[in-house]
C-alpha cells in the first residue's frame, strides 16, 4: 500500500512543498540585526556617558548645598574652637575638591571628594567659594561663580553655577 502512494500516476503531479529559509535570507537577516544592535549600543554608550556627567554635576550641586546649609546654620565642626567664618568650597585640582570649615585662623576639612576618572574640573577664577555664616551671603560679589565639568574622550560638558544671591543651579 505504501508503494502505491509513492508512485505517480498520470492524473497527479508532485509538488515541491519544502519550507525554510535560504542561506542568503539568513545572512541578510543577521546583517540587519547586527547593524541595528551596533547603532543601539553606540546610542546607549553615549547616553550612559552623558548620564555619568550629569550625575557628577548633581553631586557637586549637592555638596555646594551642603556647604551652604552648614554655613547658614552656623554648624561648627569638631575642632573649630574659634569663630566660624563660613564654609569654603575649594577646587584644589582638576580631579578633586574639598569642603572646609573656615574657622578664622584655621580651616578644617569636612569632606574630600574625588570626581570620576573620566571627568575633569576646570578650576574657577574665584577659588575657594565661601559661604558665610548665618545667611551673610558669599564672597562672589556681583557676578556668578561657575564650575565646569568636562568629560574626557567626548565633547560633553556640564556647568554648575552659584549666583551672587547664593542660588545653586
Residue 149 within any structural domain of the chain = yes
Residue 130 maps to a domain: yes
**Residues whose CB falls within 8 Å of the CB of residue 97, separated by 6 or more in sequence, listed in order:** 60, 63, 89, 90, 91, 113, 115, 121
Q: Are 126 and 140 in contact (CB under 8 A)?
A: yes
Total structural domains in the chain? 1
10 secondary structure, DSSP code:
T
Assigned domain for 109 exists:
yes
Angle, CA of 162, 168 and 169, to the nearest 5°: 100
Rounded Cα–Cα distance for residues 167 and 117 (Å): 28
Within-domain flag for 160: yes
- Per-residue pLDDT tens over the stretch 134-161: 889 999 988 999 999 999 989 999 999 9
pLDDT at 13: 58
Q: From residue 143, give the alpha-carbon distance in Å to each of 121, 125, 138, 152, 164.
A: 20, 12, 11, 28, 6
Burial profile 133-143: b = 16 or more Cβ within 10 angstroms, e = fewer: beeeebebeee
What does the block give as the cell for 151?
568629560
63 occurs within a structural domain: no
Segment 28-78, tens digit of pLDDT: 999 999 999 999 898 898 899 999 999 999 999 999 999 999 999 999 999
In a domain, 107, yes or no: yes
Give helix then strand counts, H and E, for the chain.
2, 7
Distance CA 104, CA 85 (A): 6
Which residue in the block uniquely carries the three cell numbers 574665584? Answer: 126
- Residue 5, pLDDT > 70, answer no
How far from 27 is each of 13, 30, 137, CA to CA, in Å? 34, 5, 67
pTM (2 d.p.): 0.80
Domain of 147 in residue numbering reads as: 74-169
Q: Per-residue pLDDT averaged across 103-129, rounded?
A: 95
Amino acid at each position: 500500500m505504501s508503494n502505491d502512494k509513492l508512485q505517480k500516476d498520470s492524473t497527479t503531479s508532485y509538488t515541491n512543498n519544502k519550507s525554510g529559509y535560504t542561506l542568503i535570507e539568513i545572512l541578510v537577516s543577521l546583517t540587519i540585526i547586527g547593524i541595528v544592535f551596533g547603532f543601539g549600543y553606540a546610542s546607549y554608550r553615549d547616553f550612559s556617558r552623558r548620564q555619568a556627567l550629569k550625575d557628577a554635576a548633581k553631586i557637586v550641586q549637592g555638596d555646594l548645598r551642603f556647604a551652604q546649609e552648614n554655613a547658614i546654620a552656623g554648624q561648627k565642626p569638631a575642632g573649630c574652637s574659634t569663630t566660624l567664618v563660613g564654609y569654603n568650597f575649594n577646587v584644589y585640582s582638576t580631579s578633586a575638591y574639598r569642603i572646609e570649615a573656615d574657622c578664622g585662623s584655621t580651616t578644617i576639612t569636612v569632606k574630600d571628594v574625588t570626581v570620576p576618572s573620566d571627568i575633569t574640573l576646570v578650576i574657577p577664577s574665584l577659588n575657594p567659594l565661601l559661604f558665610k555664616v548665618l545667611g551673610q551671603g558669599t564672597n562672589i560679589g556681583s557676578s556668578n561663580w561657575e564650575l565646569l565639568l568636562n568629560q574626557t574622550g567626548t565633547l560633553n560638558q556640564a556647568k554648575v553655577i552659584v549666583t551672587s544671591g547664593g542660588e545653586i543651579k
